[in-house]
Amino acid sequence: MKFVDLAASLDQMEATSSRNELVRILADIYRNCSARELQPITYLIQGRLAPFFVPVEIGLGERSLMIAIAAAYGVPKEEVIKLNRQTGDLGVTAQDLAKASPSESPSVVEVHERLNQIAAAGGAGSVQQKLDGFTGLLRDLDAISAKHLVRITLGKMRLGIGDPTVLDALSMAKKGDRSLRPILEGAYNRTSDLGQIAWTLWDSGEAGLEALKVRAGHPLRPQLAERLPNPEAVIKKLGTVGVQPKYDGLRVQIHKDADEVKIFSRNLESMTEMFPELVAAASELDVDSVILDGEAIAYDAESEEYVPFQETTARRRKEGIQEMAARVPMRAFVFDVMFRNGSDLTPLPYERRFAIVEELLRESDTLLTAPLTKTDSAEVLTRDLLDNISRGLEGVVAKRLDSPYQAGARNFNWVKLKRNTSGHLNDTIDVVLLGYYRGKGKRAEFGAGALLAGVYDSDKDEFVTISKLGTGLSDQGWREIHQRLASLEVAEKPPRVNSTFVPDAWLQPAIVVEVLADEITPSPRHTAGMAADHPGFALRFPRIVSLRTEDKKAEDATSVREIREMFEQQRRSKG
C-alpha cells in the first residue's frame, strides 16, 4: 500500500462522525493491505511507530516540525508560523504549503521505516539528522500525505480511532462482521499489542490469537475494580473476601525477564525510567521471570506515613529523578502476580497467587506485599476500612479469593471501598509532641525520624494521640526540634498521656507544633476522642506548618472538643 492511499483513507475517516463508518473505512484498509503492512499501519493510525508500551518517540515537536516544513517547501520559517496561527493545525499548514505532488509516493512500510530511523537518531548532531530526515520525507509526499505525516509525528491524529475501533475493524476485515471481537479482545488483554494481534490473525487465524499468551516484558491490561456503596453490600455480593489497603499511588506492572526489568503504568506506558529503586529491587528477586501488579507510593516506613499522591506523581517529570529517589524513596505494595518462570498464573485463584507474591517478596524491603486479611463479616470490613483511612490511605479493596486474574476486566472480582472525600480542612491544628521515633539515614542525623503528636482532652485532662508527623520540616527545622526534644525526653510514658502507640522515646508534653491536614478521619488506633462506642480521630496527610515557640503551652493545643466539631463540620460540608 502506498502512503498516499493510506492518507486518502485517513482523510475519509476525518470527514465522518459515524463510528460504523470509521470501522468500515479501517476494515477496507486492512482488507487492501499485505500482511507485512498490518503492523506499521496499525501503529501509524494511532500516531505511533510501535505499541504504546514501547517507548519510541520520533522526537520532533511543533517547533522542529516548523523548521522542517519551511526547509521542505522553501519558505521562510516566519511564514510557516504565521500560516499556522491561522490554521491552528500544523498538519493543515503543511498541506497548504506543499507544492505539486511528486510522481511516486513511497509505500507505507517505507514511511514507517524512515520515521523509525528519525526516531533512532541520537547523540551529537541528532537534531539536525532528525530535521534532515523529516524534510526529505516531506519532499517525497503529496499534500494530503504531508498533513497526516505531520499529525502522526505529533501524535495528534484527530480521528478518534480507539482500540475497540481497531478490534472491530480487524473482525470486519476478516469475517465481515464483529463476531471475532471477543477473541480479539482476549488476545489484546493479554498482549496489549494491536499490531501483533492484526498480524497473528492474518498469519495463523483464531487459533493463533488463542495461542498469544502472557509473557514477561509485554504488559497485560490491568484488572480493574468495581465499586459497591458499603461494606454490607460487599459481603452480601462476594461472601468471604480478602481485604487489602487501597493505596493512593500509581499502578505499576513490574516485569522481570532475565536481566531486564520494565515497569508499566496502568495505561501501559513505560515508566521504567521513573522508578530506579523499584527496578533495582525487582532485579534482585530470586526468580528468572516474573510479572507483578502493585501500587507505587512514596512511603516513610518509620512514620508509617504515605506521602501525598502529588509527590508520588512528581516523578512524571523527567528531571531530578535520582534526587527524588533519594529524598522520597518509592515502595511498591504488590498485590498480585500474573506470571512466573514461564508459567501464566492468571488462571490460578487469587489466594494461590497471593501466596506466591508473599513467597517471592520475602526478602525485599522495597517491594512489599500488600497485607491481606480474610473475612466474611461486614463489621470487620468496616473496621479495616476505617483503620486504613485513618492511616492516610484511600480505603480498601475487597477481592474474591477464588477469582482468576482477568486482564482488562472491571468486575466484582475486586471491589473498591472508599470514603468520599470532597472537603478539605482549611484550619490548622495545634498539636503537642508526645514522643518520637528514631530516624534512619538522613533523619537520624537530626535525631528524630517521626514525631508522635496529640491534642488535649480538657474533660479528662489528658493528652491523646492524633497523628504521626514526618513531613513539612526543613533540615534546619529538624535540627532545631531535636535540640528542644533532648531536654524533654523521659524514660516512661508520662502519666497524662493516653496512647496505644509506643514511640522510641517519650516526651514531656511541652512543644506545640502547628499542623495542616487534608481532613480528620476516624481511627481505631489513635486515642483522640476515642470511647467505648466510637473510634478515635486521626489527621489525614498532616504536615508541619510551623514550630510554635514560647507562645503556647501544651494545654493550649487544640482540644478534642474542637477536633470533634471540625469533624462534624467537615461531614456537613460534604453533605
251 in contact with ligand AMP (CB under 6 A): yes
Please say which residue, 137 or 338, places its beta carbon nearer to ligand AMP: 338
Q: Is 174 a catalytic residue?
A: no
3-state class (DSSP) for residue 194? helix
Residue 389 C-beta: closest distance to ligand AMP, Å: 13
Return the biggest CA–CA distance within the chain.
93
User: Given the rule CB under 6 A, which of 43-51, 157-165, 194-202, 241-249 is the region that contacts ligand AMP?
Assistant: 241-249
- Choose among 146, 22, 45: nearest CA to 90: 146
CB-based contact 515:491 (threshold 8 Å): no
| Binds ligand AMP (CB under 6 A): choice among 181, 416, 438, 552 | 416
3-state class (DSSP) for residue 537? strand
Binding mask 3-42 for ligand AMP (x = CB under 6 A): ----------------------------------------
- Choose among 6, 204, 22: nearest CA to 108: 6
Please say which residue, 1 or 314, places its beta carbon nearer to ligand AMP: 314
- The grid coordinates listed for 113 are 521505516
Residue 370 C-beta: closest distance to ligand AMP, Å: 5
- The grid coordinates listed for 265 are 503504568
- Measured CA to CA, the distance from residue 388 to residue 395 in angstroms comes to 6
- Measured CA to CA, the distance from residue 98 to residue 112 in angstroms comes to 20
By CB under 6 A, the residues from 206 to 235 that bind ligand AMP are 224-225
Please say which residue, 264 or 414, places its beta carbon nearer to ligand AMP: 414
CB-based contact 69:138 (threshold 8 Å): yes
| Binds ligand AMP (CB under 6 A): choice among 53, 73, 188, 335 | 335
Is the C-alpha dihedral spanning 331, 335, 341, 342 positive or negative?
negative
Please say which residue, 58 or 357, places its beta carbon nearer to ligand AMP: 357
370 in contact with ligand AMP (CB under 6 A): yes
Residue 390 C-beta: closest distance to ligand AMP, Å: 16
From 130, 147, 174, 246, the catalytic residue: 246
How many residues comprise the chain?
A: 575
| Binds ligand AMP (CB under 6 A): choice among 37, 193, 277, 295 | 295
HSE-up (13 A, CA, CB side) for residue 5: 16
End-to-end CA distance of the chain: 60
- The grid coordinates listed for 506 are 517519650
User: Given the rule CB under 6 A, which of 15-23, 170-178, 242-250, 520-528 is the region that contacts ligand AMP?
Assistant: 242-250
CB-based contact 96:79 (threshold 8 Å): no
Contacts of 495 (CB under 8 A, 6+ apart): none
| Binds ligand AMP (CB under 6 A): choice among 247, 306, 354, 537 | 247
Residue 296 C-beta: closest distance to ligand AMP, Å: 9
- Measured CA to CA, the distance from residue 177 to residue 168 in angstroms comes to 8
Please say which residue, 462 or 519, places its beta carbon nearer to ligand AMP: 519
Note the helical H segments in 300-450: 309-313, 321-327, 350-360, 378-390, 441-446
Q: Compute φ and ψ for 559, nearest 5 degrees.
A: -95, 160
Binding mask 373-412 for ligand AMP (x = CB under 6 A): ------------------------x---------------
User: Given the rule CB under 6 A, which of 22-30, 127-135, 239-247, 353-361 is the region that contacts ligand AMP?
Assistant: 239-247
Residue 529 C-beta: closest distance to ligand AMP, Å: 28
Residue 227 C-beta: closest distance to ligand AMP, Å: 8
369 in contact with ligand AMP (CB under 6 A): no
271 in contact with ligand AMP (CB under 6 A): no
Judge residue 532's burial from the number of C-beta atoms within 10 Å of its C-beta, 0-12 exposed, 13-18 middle, 19 or more buried. exposed
Amino acid symbol at 414: W
- Measured CA to CA, the distance from residue 164 to residue 155 in angstroms comes to 18
Please say which residue, 52 or 335, places its beta carbon nearer to ligand AMP: 335
| Binds ligand AMP (CB under 6 A): choice among 266, 419, 496, 561 | 266
Position closest to ligand AMP via CB: 251
Please say which residue, 169 or 220, places its beta carbon nearer to ligand AMP: 220
User: Given the rule CB under 6 A, which of 6-14, 106-114, 240-248, 270-278 is the region that contacts ligand AMP?
Assistant: 240-248
Residue 262 C-beta: closest distance to ligand AMP, Å: 18
- Measured CA to CA, the distance from residue 567 to residue 466 in angstroms comes to 13
Residue 393 C-beta: closest distance to ligand AMP, Å: 8
Judge residue 319's burial from the number of C-beta atoms within 10 Å of its C-beta, 0-12 exposed, 13-18 middle, 19 or more buried. exposed
By CB under 6 A, the residues from 464 to 503 that bind ligand AMP are none
User: Given the rule CB under 6 A, which of 104-112, 244-252, 253-261, 319-327 is the region that contacts ligand AMP?
Assistant: 244-252
Please say which residue, 49 or 381, places its beta carbon nearer to ligand AMP: 381
CB-CB neighbours of 20 under 10 Å? 10
Residues that bind ligand AMP (CB under 6 A): 224-225, 244, 246-247, 251, 266, 295, 335, 370, 397, 414, 416
Catalytic (active-site) positions: 246
